[in-house]
Each structure stands twice: as structure tokens, then as C-alpha cells.
Amino acid sequence: MNTRQPFVTAPEPEALGIEFNLHGKFTVATDKGYRVHDTANGKLLNERDFGGSVSFATNLDDSNIVGLIGGGPYPKFSPNKVWHQHFLSTSKAKISLVHSL
């Protein structure tokens, strides 16, 4: 009988989409936000939890701009709008509407 409590009780975010770019980064859209990783070693470069799902996230070339489209089980943003976020500082990150479809 196993009586020990698990070390991690919170579930990991579920990946809804993965987008690779040519500059060594990949972006994962999750049911809670997005994550940006380094392709060479998998190191987490940036993570943002919106409290809602994002169906598509992509990093613009080698910049600090992430394009976002809402969707998934609990969409944070409208799926017919394209948003972007600068991730220099997550505490001062600003999300802006780019285009409405």
C-alpha cells in the first residue's frame, strides 16, 4: 500500500498546438496559456498563464513577440482575432489586438 503523498499535485498544462520557427525556438499553445522553448536544449525561455486556453501561439522570427489565437476548451481570447504579446518582462507584458477576422 502506497501511503506517501505525490510530490506534484497540480496537473501539467495540456498542449493544444506546437509551432517551430527557423531561429531555434518553439512555442507551445496550452489549455492555460503558452510556453516558449529553446529548440537546442528544450530550455523554457518564457511562460505565460492566462487562466484560459490558447489554440495557436507562435514566436515571430527571433523577436520577443508572440502571436496568439484563442480557442481550445476554455478560450481566453476570441478565436476570430489575432493577438500579440511582447515578453521582455512578464510582469509588464502587454497584449494587443492585431487583426479581427
pTM of the model: 0.74
Q: Which long-range contacts (CB under 8 A, 24 or more apart) does 1-10 make?
A: none
> In a structure prediction context, what are the per-residue pLDDT tens digits for the chain, which is 101 residues long?
667 776 766 777 789 999 999 989 999 999 999 999 999 999 998 888 888 888 988 888 877 888 888 888 888 888 877 777 766 544 445 566 665 55
Domain chopping of the chain, boundaries? 15-91
DSSP H stretches of helix in the chain: none
pLDDT of 4: 72
CA 8 – CA 64 distance, rounded (Å): 31
What was the pLDDT predicted at 81? 74
Rounded CA gap, 55 and 18, in Å? 9
Contacts of 96 (CB under 8 A, 6+ apart): 83, 84, 85
